[in-house]
Amino acid sequence: MQHFPKLYLFVLWVLLIVTLIMAIALGAVPISLHEMYSAIIQTFKANAIFNMHEAVFIDIRLPRVLLCAITGGILAASGVMMQGLFRNPIVEPGLIGTSSGAAFGASFIFVLATKLPDWLQQLSGIFLVPVFAFLGGVLATVLVYTLAKSAKNVSVTNLLLIGIAINAIALSGTGFLSFISRDPQARSITFWNLGSFAGANWLQVRVTAIVTLPVMLLLMGYTNQLNALMLGDKEAGFLGVHTERLKWQILLLNTAMVAVATAFVGVIAFVGLIVPHIMRLFLGGNNRLLLPASFLCGAILLTVGDIAARLLIAPGEIPIGIITSLVGAPVFILLLKKTQLLQKGGDYD
């Protein structure tokens, strides 16, 4: 369908950079290109002195925008992988338990961290939250997957229904934790369940990037096998794919990425659903191109969403999860309508 895959990726890169610059420039404190430039030059000097605008840029705006872009990329890429794995375009981390499981794992640490031994508490902020988010995410995803799996196949109806059930369990767990917690903890859970980049800092950017880069490189190596999986499990096996092994590897890598992002910014729904769908319309379904393209597109769209989150009710801020859900849910309904028609023609096995 696409004759110039590299051109598409190039266009997406350019769009991403333009979006990032816009996202940095816009806000309560506007930042000019010149200030961005001089601040970046300053950081390479031994004892950098920033004026107010430059400080806002380096310490607040830039980490926020970067974390937002990486998170958007993660969620979209995760959508591509999950949809490929389940052979269905209506799957995303929010629907099959990954996000809510990660949210539960993270709130667990928010509330119970003070009960932990001192040496563990020291680590709690930056390491324990992602680790528990990962454990929660894996647990929920694996539960949904194994429960939805009947004798030989994973039906999508099962998957979504069990996803609802596991999401409900994880949400009530999170709700219970916020109920027994003290007020500031509860507030952070609530706010965080809606997703927000307000607290972004450099450490979070670094941890997220360090996890994302190798995971994305590994996932790129699976794209051909994921294509083969489109033919069906058995048929992919005929092409030399260890299907069960592939599923577990992708599930774990994917959850690692989503859990880290979720641990820092909270639950952001529907990005993983909409972005791959849009990209497929332009580029077709070949995962080799779809995966990197969706990562870039996810980064662009979530950054735009965050601009909206900051500007719509300025100086206040809307949690970004509200915006993505508002835009994403209708798209999800449309997709459901479409795939039901599609399912009558052929069965997913």
Site for other proteins contains 88 (CB under 8 A): yes
Q: What is the CA radius of gyration of the chain?
A: 20
Q: Which of 302, 258, 260 is nearest to 91 (CA)?
A: 258
Question: Shortest gap between Cβ of 7 and other proteins (angstroms)?
Answer: 16
Residues 286-305 that bind other proteins (CB under 8 A): 286
Site for other proteins contains 4 (CB under 8 A): no
Strand, coil or helix: 50: coil
Site for other proteins contains 230 (CB under 8 A): yes
CA 113 – CA 239 distance, rounded (Å): 48
Binding mask 233-252 for other proteins (x = CB under 8 A): -xx-xxxxxx----------
The two structure tokens encoding residue 188: 């952070």
Question: Shortest gap between Cβ of 250 and other proteins (angstroms)?
Answer: 16
Question: Shortest gap between Cβ of 83 and other proteins (angstroms)?
Answer: 8
Site for other proteins contains 231 (CB under 8 A): yes
Site for other proteins contains 25 (CB under 8 A): no
Closest CB to other proteins among residues 187, 242: 242
Strand, coil or helix: 154: strand
Closest CB to other proteins among residues 175, 232: 232
CA 25 – CA 38 distance, rounded (Å): 14
What is the chain's percent helix, strand, coil content, to nearest 5? 80, 0, 20
Binding mask 163-202 for other proteins (x = CB under 8 A): ----------------------------------------
Closest CB to other proteins among residues 199, 237: 237
Question: Shortest gap between Cβ of 156 and other proteins (angstroms)?
Answer: 10
Alpha helix (H) ranges present in 5-155? 5-25, 33-43, 52-55, 62-86, 98-112, 118-123, 129-148
Beta carbons of 324 and 195 less than 8 angstroms apart: yes
Number of chain residues interacting with other proteins (CB under 8 A):
31
Beta carbons of 271 and 79 less than 8 angstroms apart: yes
Beta carbons of 269 and 321 less than 8 angstroms apart: yes
When binding is defined by CB under 8 A, the residue of 30, 125, 214, 284 that contacts other proteins is 284
Task: Kindly state the helix (H) or strand (E) to which residue 257 belongs, with its residue range.
Answer: helix 243-265
Closest CB to other proteins among residues 204, 227: 227
Task: List interacting residues with other proteins (CB under 8 A).
Answer: 1, 83-84, 87-89, 221, 224-225, 227-228, 230-232, 234-235, 237-242, 280, 284-286, 345-349
